[in-house]
Structure 1
Amino acid sequence: MPEQHPTRPWSTRLLLCLGALFMGLLVGSITTVAHQNVLTVWGIDIPWGMILSLIVLIGFLVGLRMVVQDRLIVLCAALGIIGMVFLLSLRSVGGSVLVPNNLLGTIWAVAPTLIAIVVVAWPKLPEHRRGESISS
């Protein structure tokens, strides 16, 4: 169960959860569209879209977790990302797909969920006060 932030009322947490969900939907849609981009250099395909998309996802979720220190809010952002990846993975009315059945598509179908699980489930690190030694 997500920890309750001691100084935040439920109304503030609800607004933060809605904002995080919206930002998760936005990040999930942009990274899903970008993940298939490949640059070919000297005959070698460099999946720069996948690399950049994974860096953005990790940075967004880890940064949010560090700033808000509330798993529920990060979980809402992660659900937005995963929901958008799922939605954009479906075949459209015209028959096109944004996440094709190839190696990059398979990685993209799994990686955001695994990243979200690790970031949300990661234990809270103990806080050190200024002037305290880390080794003590």
Structure 2
Amino acid sequence: MTEVIEQPAAEQRTGERILGALLYALFGLIVGTVTTFLHRGRVELFETTLWVGIVLGLACILCLGIGLRLYLVDRWMSTGFAVGVIVAVVGLGVWNPGSSVVVVGDVVGLAWLALASLVAAGCAFWPALPSRRSRTATGVGEYDERSQPS
């Protein structure tokens, strides 16, 4: 009879974390690439230029980053997403020898580089908030001296 050797649970968990972080980094790379190409979208309205591309791109990164941070308990996945977004934004914003630049070096382009990176990193490294279930469960049996009549 052959003996089956199982991997310890901690090693399986680490492997799952790394694979998940890599997949979310790929997702962040896709999101960062799409939003970087669309960040210069604008609308002319009553002789006024509205830069809707940068606003919608930042809102997309912010909503996805917050959603991942709130949904997933593990910080590895949201960090992978942030790394993917930052690599895409910075990678497309670097000048290359062919002079084909996706992110122009004006105010909007520099704002995109800075804000997209800060929003992605801010969502990933935001401190963990205790869940509502754990907050209400700890307060049930506690004695509060202030609630007692004097």
TM-score range, shorter chain: 0.7 to 0.9
Distance 1:30 1:53 in 2: 9
Which whole-Å CA distance do the structure 1 matches of 2:122 and 2:90 have between them?
A: 19
What TM-score does the superposition give when structure 2 sets the normalisation length?
A: 0.77
- Indicate yes or no: 2:72 matched with 1:68: yes
Tell me what 1:59 maps to. Answer: 63
Give 1:66 shift: 1.2
**TM-score, normalization: structure 1?**
0.84
Offset at 1:94? 2.7
Indicate conservation of the 8 Å contact 2:79/2:125, yes or no. no
Unaligned ranges ≥5, structure 1: 1-5
Distance 1:35 1:69 in 2: 30
Superposition deviation, residue 116 in structure 1: 2.4
Q: Specify the code of the residue in structure 1 equivalent to 2:127.
A: P
CA RMSD of aligned residues (A): 2.1
Residues 43 and 51 in structure 2, CA contact (< 8 A), matched pair in contact too: yes
Higher CA-based Rg = 2
In structure 2, the partner of 1:79 is 83
User: Is the 2:103–2:109 Cα contact (8 Å) retained in structure 1?
Assistant: yes
Aligned to 2:6: none
Matched ranges for 1:39-118 at <5 A: 39-118=43-122
Q: Does 1:22 align with 2:22?
A: no
Aligned residues: 128
- State the identity as a percent: 28
- 1:107 partner amino acid: A
Is there any run of 5+ residues in structure 2 with no aligned partner, and where?
Answer: 1-9, 141-150
1:31 maps to amino acid: T
Work out the CA distance in 2 between the residues paired with 1:14 and 1:74.
12
